[in-house]
Every structure is written in C-alpha cells, then in structure tokens.
Amino acid sequence: MHNEKEFEGFKSSMRLYKSMSLSAILLISTVFLALAAYGLWAPDLSLGELQKRYGSTASNVVNVDGMRIHYKDTGPQDAPVILLLHGFGSSLQTWDVWAGSLEQKYRVIRLDLPGFGLTGPSPSNDYSELNDVNTLTQFVDKLGVSDLSVIGHSMGGKIAWTFAAAHPDRVKALVLMAPDGFPQPEAIGTKPYAMPAIMGVMKFSLPRYFVRKSIEPAFADASALDDKMVSRYHDMLRAPGVRAAILERGNQTIYTDPVPRLKKIKAHTLLLWGEEDKMIPSSNAASYAGVLAQSQTVFIPRLGHLLHEEQANIGLAKVTEFLDANRLTTQ
C-alpha cells in the first residue's frame, strides 16, 4: 500500500512537471516574441566583425588546450614583463590607457580571460580556480615568459593572486586592484557570481541601457562612463558564446579560504582601491594586508571600482611608481 501511494504521488508529480514545463515553454516563447517585436533581440556578433572593430589578427591568438586565447603583446620584447588581467564581464581593452603608457618601459601582455571577449567560451566548460591558473600558466609558458609582474582587477585580481600563490618564484611584483576572493568566513562555500535564472534571458536580449546601468555602479562619478566605453562592453558581451559562458562561470565560482594561498606569495604587492568602490569595499584591503608577506595599500579618493577606466592616469601613476621601485626584482 505504501508503494502504491508513492507511485501515485510520483505520477501526480510528473503530471505537474509536464504542465509546468508546457507553461514555461509558452512563457519563454511569449518573452522571445515580445523581445523581437520591441527590437530587443540581441544575437551574438560575429567574431570577424569584432576582430575588425577591435584590431584583432591571427597573430593575436595562442592555442591552449583547444581554446584560442586572444591577447596583445606590446613593448620591448626584452623588457620586464607585466601581465594584465581584467575583471568579470570585461575584456583586454579595459587596459588600453595603462598599456599605452606601461609599454614604453615594459613588455605588456594582456588577454581576454576564458569566457570573455574574443577568447570566448572554454571548450571544456571549466571555469574553476584550478583551471584558470593552469590555463594562465600554459599561456605564459607558450609566450616564453619565465619571470613576470602581474596586475589584476576584481575577478582578475583574484586570478592574479591565485597565480602568484601557485608560482611564488615567478611572480616578482603584484598589483591587486580591488581584488575579489577574500570573503567573510560565513561566505566560504557560497557562489558570489551566481545569477538568478531570469538572467538567462540576457543570452537573447541585451539592451545598451541595461549594460550602461550595470556599469554605472562601478564609477564614483557615472558621467565618466562615455558612450564609447558602453559600446565596447556591449560589443564584447555579444562576442560568440560569451553571455552563456559568463552565466556558467557565475554558477561554477565558489568562495574558498584564501589565507593558506595568500601566505605563499613572495612578491611585493600593491593593494590599490578606489575609496568609493561600491562593489568590493576598500575596507577589504586590511584583510589582504594582514596576510600578505610584503604589501602596501593605496586608496584613491573619489574613484570607484573601475578606477583604471574612470580616471585612468591617477591609478596609473601609483602603479608606475610601485613598479619602478620594484623594477630590479622584475628582471
């Protein structure tokens, strides 16, 4: 009798599931028709079109485990190397101003990280911390780089310090700009980038207005966000497969205890923060400074999370001073 009741309950559940599935299909279909009707349908842009817009060529690509990593490598090839790592939802163009200055004295390498920009989705669909570090290690090895300095922003900051912890003898100087990855103890095991299911709609619809409103909180002064910048973010989010990859990375990213790894870092480290950062508060700097072996902290007034785009030259001056002071260790 108990088994019969369970079976009836199972059949009832399946009928409900099928009904809900049909309703969901009808709802999704209605949403898509509405998006198309109102001109909000936003399919991926072609890789060829984006390459033309942003000056990419075949020489800007290196293959790592079947993934075509898009990068730029500028400056004297025999100079100390600086590797630039962008944040979540961004691309290597975020460093345009900084790279243009740093390449006068350094070999500057910047890339679209897996799942972003013209690199696009990982064929393995693996966006774990371990895979990020393995990919980055193979990338710099293929470029023939042994010793280097690393600058990382936000998510890229987390990847930067994770890489520095994995290769303490290779990373000679480290700049962490509002780095992610140092959660409160109760947040360990949570998914910081996980998005609600409704965000899946962005794979099909991505209005410019939505992109602008998503970026504005990263600025202390939203008027610094110009149309060219919004267009670039909008374009790169519409690179082939990127929106789905972003959602996948969000679901795979899990906070872990950073302390054991941070203690392995030997590099001189600059912690750089905009004082008005609304996304990763500048108070987080104290957590890193309390663990890192050698660090200094600089807060920049009246700047937000995207300090290298809001007022590029202010943060650049601080970073240049730090790198020049540590230049002997980067050779």
pLDDT in tens, 271-295: 999 999 999 999 999 999 999 999 9
Q: How confident is the model at residue 55 (pLDDT cuts 50, 70, 90)?
A: confident
Whole-Å CA distances, 191 to 12, 107, 127, 129, 202: 34, 35, 13, 13, 19
Residue 233 corresponds to which tokens in the numbers above?
A: 């973010």
According to CATH, what is the number of the domain 47-330? 3.40.50.1820
pLDDT in tens, 164-219: 999 999 999 999 999 999 999 999 999 988 877 767 888 888 999 999 999 999 99
Q: What is the pLDDT of residue 26?
A: 39
Range of weakest confidence among 36-40, 263-267, 309-313? 36-40
Listed in sequence order, the DSSP H helices in 38-77 are 47-53
Distance from C-alpha of 317 to C-alpha of 120, rounded to nearest angstrom: 32
Cα torsion 12, 17, 22, 25 to 10°: value is 170
Cα torsion 198, 202, 207, 212 to 10°: value is 80
Q: What is the pLDDT of residue 327?
A: 65
Question: How much of the chain exceeds pLDDT 70, in percent?
Answer: 86
Average of per-residue pLDDT across 148-165: 98
Distance from C-alpha of 60 to C-alpha of 57, rounded to nearest angstrom: 5
Q: What is the pLDDT of residue 70?
A: 96
Q: In 3D, which of 321, 269, 328 has the Cα closest to residue 294?
A: 269
The answer to pTM > 0.95 is no
Distance from C-alpha of 263 to C-alpha of 165, rounded to nearest angstrom: 8
Q: Of residues 31 and 230, which shows the higher confidence score?
A: 230
Q: What is the pLDDT of residue 58?
A: 67
| CB within 8 Å of 315: residues ≥ 6 apart | 98, 177, 272, 300, 303, 307, 308
Whole-Å CA distances, 158 to 134, 163, 182, 293: 14, 9, 9, 17
Q: What is the pLDDT of residue 277?
A: 97
**pLDDT(307) > 80:** yes
Distance from C-alpha of 268 to C-alpha of 258, rounded to nearest angstrom: 18
| Angle of helix 227-237 versus helix 242-252 axis, rounded to 10 | 80
Q: What is the pLDDT of residue 203?
A: 86
Question: What integer best gives the mean pLDDT of the chain?
Answer: 87
Pairing of strands 61-64, 67-74: antiparallel
Q: How confident is the model at residue 32 (pLDDT cuts 50, 70, 90)?
A: very low
